[in-house]
Amino acid sequence: EAGIQVIFGVAGLKTHSKLLLITREEGRVQRNYAHVGTGNFNEATAGVFSDLALLTADRRITGEVERLFAFFEHNYQRGVFRHLIVSPYSTRRRFSQMIDREIKEAKAGRKAWMILKCNNLTDAGMIRKLYEASRAGVEVTLIVRGASALRAGVKGLSENIKAYSVVGRYLEHARVVVFGAGGKPEFYISSADWMKRNLDRRIEVSVPIYDEALQVDTGSAAW
C-alpha cells in the first residue's frame, strides 16, 4: 500500500540467505553496496545471537548479489556466480571441490587443512567427504554448536578430525569455512549449515572474504 515493491521469491524454495543490496547516488555515479550475513534481520535475536556479516562495495560481490535479486524476481533467469556460492545450485559441489583440493594437497605430502564452524552438521554426503579428507591426511577442525552426526577421532576413519562445541554468553550462530588452499587460505562466511535442507532445498549464500584485513589468523587461539 505504501508503494514498496514486494517480491515473493521462488516457489518451493525457502529463502534463507541474509542479503541487502543498496544503490546509492554518489555524484553522477550510482554505486552498489551489498550486505551478506550469517544471521537474520531480527531485533529479538540480535541481542542474543552472535553472527557475522560482510558490508562491501566490491563489484565482484555486489554484481552477483544484484544478479541473485534479479533471479528472485525472474526465476527463469538463473545467473552465473563465480564469487558467491549459492544453494541449492552450487554449495554442495563447490565446497566438495575445495575439500578435494585439500585431499590432493595431503596426498602430495603438503600441509592440508580446513576449519568448519556451523550450527549443525548432519548431511551424510558432506560427512563422507570429511571422512575421506581425514583418511587422506587433511587436518579438519569442526566447531559445531548443535547437532553433529560425524564421529571425530575414530582410528582409520576420522583420526584427523577434531570437533568442538562453543557454549558462551551468546548463541554462536555464524557459519564460517576456511580452507588451507596450498598456503593461501580462503575464507567464507555463510547462511548455510551443512544439512541436506540447506544444501539442496533452500536459497543460501556463502561469500568469500577477500580483504586480508578481515581474515582471522588461523593460528590464533580464537580457533
Cα distances from 197 to residues 18, 52, 91, 180, in angstroms, run: 16, 22, 12, 27
Measured at the CA of 69, the angle between CA 3 and CA 120, to 5 degrees, comes to: 120
Query: With contact defined as beta carbons under 8 Å apart, do 82 and 72 qualify?
Result: no
The amino acid present at 196, given as its one-letter code, is: K
pLDDT at 218: 58
Q: What is the SS3 assignment for 178?
A: strand
Indicate the pTM of the whole model.
0.92
Catalytic residue from among 16, 74, 83, 173: 16
Tens digit of each residue's pLDDT, the chain (223 residues): 999 988 887 888 899 999 999 999 999 999 999 999 999 889 999 899 999 999 999 999 999 999 999 998 887 777 899 999 999 999 999 999 999 999 999 999 999 999 999 999 999 999 999 999 999 999 999 999 999 999 999 999 999 999 999 888 899 999 999 999 999 999 999 999 999 999 999 999 999 999 999 997 655 444 4
pLDDT at 220: 47
**Contacts of residue 38, Cβ cutoff 8 Å, sequence gap at least 6:** 18, 51, 52, 53, 173, 174, 175, 176, 189, 190, 191
Cα distances from 15 to residues 11, 101, 192, 205, 213, in angstroms, run: 10, 30, 11, 10, 30
Beta strands across the sheet bearing 29-37? 18-26, 29-37, 53-56
**Contacts of residue 170, Cβ cutoff 8 Å, sequence gap at least 6:** 48, 49, 50
16 catalytic per annotation: yes
Measured at the CA of 177, the angle between CA 205 and CA 22, to 5 degrees, comes to: 35
pLDDT at 198: 97
